[in-house]
Amino acid sequence: MSQPKVFNLPDVGEGLTEAEIVKWHVQAGDTVEINQTIVEIETAKAIVELPCPFEGVVTELHVAEGQTVDVGAPIISVDAEGGAAPEPARPAEPARRAEEGVPTPDEPGMVSPEQPPKRQPVLVGYGVKEAATKRRPRKASNGTAPAAPAPAPAAPVVKPPAVKPPAPRPQPVDNGLPLAKPPVRKMAKDLGVDLATIKGSGPQGSITREDVQAALSAPAAPAVQAGPREERVPVKGVRKATAAAMSASAFTAPHVTEFLQVDVTRTMETVKRLRELPEFADVKVSPLLLVARALLTAVARNPMVNSSWADGPDGAEIVVKRYVNLGIAAATERGLIVPKVKDAQDLDLPGLARALAELTEKARAGKATPADLSDGTITITNVGVFGVDSGTPILTPGESAILAFGQIRDMPWVHEGELAIRKVTTLSLSFDHRIVDGELGSKVLRDVGAMLEDPIRMLAWS
């Protein structure tokens, strides 16, 4: 058998240093083919499926599920000749019987030829004497049975004098209830005291009035928490990368956040009409779609908001992006991730709706690739799905603005000079104050709000 080939953990993303083994799809002894998926790993950005570069039989898995391994470390060995995996040695006969559940001569239920079966007691407390089996008496040589020995004379039986047993003392009835007299029970009920929590000091453990009053004045015992009082969750994978990125962003870019309440009644009416069109028959239409379109239009009107800060050898620069890779923050079981709709500015409204739906579903299923999660230019976070009105979002590293979209609520609103109940939401825009000053940030936020108040403006400004 030749030396097995070793597959080392590759760098599936630019700058990847480590990954966690999430799930193995093969085990030692399995036959694998080239490009067959053998393992799922979680990087700092996404869960990635790794194909096998060899064909043969798996000889060893070097890393267990749940462990983190550095890039370049061995994770699996494969016998490229495809020889069958060695058959495990069969255990010795007693061990084999123990594994298969067959009793051995030293175990109950198994009798060896040299060991006669041992009789077991039938009833608890009534043992069986050893060698208590009776044999039929042998006959004498003349054909007659030997005479039995004469029985010993029986001892005279002396009867003890009759003694009258004492009368039994009356015992309290054990019906599961605390022992207390009716007046005491009424007193405890009126005072809201649970008799089951009181230890009686009266006769036979009965509860008295004094016991009830003492329980009423005693401080309440703290509730006992079931299970462990603390839980430690390892910070790794997406959550580790998110924590590092958010910390760097919060303490690198000077954040400013502005807020704007908007009447989105017409937007909700537009969403309802879009759902009835055949172009949107196979896709979910939500208010987020029009929020995304409004932000794309605002970026086209104010390109500087779609830029990044770059420190170079010749000094700092502002890099203005003429394309929009729109990030949509998505909460998943592995943590917060932000997949990007690449070149979102080139999509029509049905195409944008499909891209948002597919990318969000892919991210929540853990199938987003590192390419899906990189190279963003501006982001939307929909905090309204959590029942939140607003927030102060932190910038995604490398971006200069992020828009938070709050929940839509029925609120009193002055509409056409009269008080009416309207659909209202709150928008908040956080931006990097090194790039976006207050005037530009306010203009972008005002443009988005104006288009959501009157969606016709999207057509006029596009």
433 included as an active-site residue = yes
Q: CA distances (Å), 245 to each of 39, 209, 360, 392, 454, in order?
A: 27, 65, 21, 16, 36
140 is a domain residue: no
Residues 454 and 356 in one domain: yes
Task: Return the CATH number at 435.
Answer: 3.30.559.10
> What are the pLDDT digits (tens) for 371-410?
888 899 999 999 999 999 999 999 998 999 999 999 999 9
What is the model's pLDDT at position 161? 54
Of 21-35, 195-209, 303-317, the least confident: 195-209
pLDDT tens digits, one per residue of 426-460: 999 999 999 999 999 999 999 999 999 999 999 99
144-153 burial, b at 16+ Cβ within 10 Å, e below that, comes to eeeeeeeeee
Mean pLDDT of 195-202: 87
In this prediction, residue 118 carries a pLDDT of 47
202 and 250 share one domain: no
The reply to whether 390 and 328 lie within a common domain is: yes
Q: Are 342 and 325 in contact (CB under 8 A)?
A: yes
The number of residues making up the chain comes to 462
Confirm whether 105 is domain-assigned: no
Q: In the predicted model, what is the mean pLDDT of residues 292-297?
A: 97
Whether 298 and 344 map to the same domain: the answer is: yes
Between CA 237 and CA 20 the distance in angstroms is 7
pLDDT tens-digit series, residues 337-346? 899 999 999 9
CATH assignment of the domain containing 65: 2.40.50.100
Are residues 392 and 345 part of one domain? yes
Q: 268 lies in a domain?
A: yes
Highest mean pLDDT among 237-241, 287-291, 315-319, 371-375: 287-291
Q: How far apart are the first and last CA of the chain?
A: 68
The pLDDT-based confidence of 165 (bands split at 50, 70, 90) is low
Same domain, 253 and 372: yes
Asked which of 24, 44, 79 is the last residue of a domain, the reply is 79
pLDDT at residue 151, rounded to an integer: 52
255: which strand partners?
432
- Name the H helices within 84-208: 93-99, 182-191
Question: What pLDDT is recorded for position 370?
Answer: 84
pTM metric for this prediction: 0.59
Tell me the residue range of the domain where 51 lies. 5-79
423 and 279 in a single domain? The answer is: yes
DSSP H or E segment with residue 414: strand 409-415
Domain match, 194 and 254 both: no
Q: How far is CA 401 from CA 259, 288, 301, in A?
A: 13, 17, 15
Select from 193, 209, 225 the last residue of a domain: 209
- Using CB atoms within 10 Å of the CB of residue 215, give its burial: 0 to 12 exposed, 13 to 18 middle, 19+ buried: middle
Looking at the structure, do residues 200 and 255 belong to the same domain, yes or no? no
> Can you tell me the distance from the alpha carbon of 117 to that of 111, in angstroms, rounded to the nearest whole number?
6
Backbone angles phi, psi at 93, to 5 degrees: -55, -45
Residue 24 maps to a domain: yes
Residue of 25, 62, 255, 433 marked catalytic: 433
What is the number of domains present in the chain?
Answer: 3
Whether residue 291 is found in the same domain as residue 421: yes
Residue at a domain's end among 79, 111, 135: 79
pLDDT one-digit tens code per residue, 40-50: 888 766 778 89
Asked if residue 123 belongs to a domain, the reply is no
CA distance 402 to 393: 7
User: 179: Cβ–Cβ under 8 A, 6 or more apart, which residues?
Assistant: 172, 200, 202, 204, 205, 206, 207
Residues 311 and 193 in one domain: no
Give domain status of residue 172, yes or no: no
Please tell me the predicted confidence (pLDDT) of residue 122.
42
Phi then psi dihedrals of residue 179, to 5 deg: -80, 115
Separation between Cα atoms, residue 457 and residue 450, nearest integer Å: 7
Query: Same domain for 335 and 437?
Result: yes
User: How confident is residue 133, by pLDDT bands cut at 50, 70 and 90?
Assistant: very low
- Measured over the CA atoms of residue 452, residue 458, residue 460 and residue 462, the dihedral's sign is positive
Calculate the average pLDDT of the chain: 80
Where are any strands of DSSP class E within 254-383? 255-263, 307-312, 315-320, 326-328, 330-332, 335-337, 340-341, 378-382
Instruction: Specify the DSSP element, H or E, that contains 7.
Output: strand 5-8
The answer to whether position 308 is within a domain reads yes
The partner residues of 307 in beta bridges, in order of sequence, read 320
CA gap 156, 362 in Å, rounded: 98
Please report whether residue 402 resides in a domain: yes
> What are 222-243's pLDDT values in tens digits?
555 667 878 887 877 777 777 7
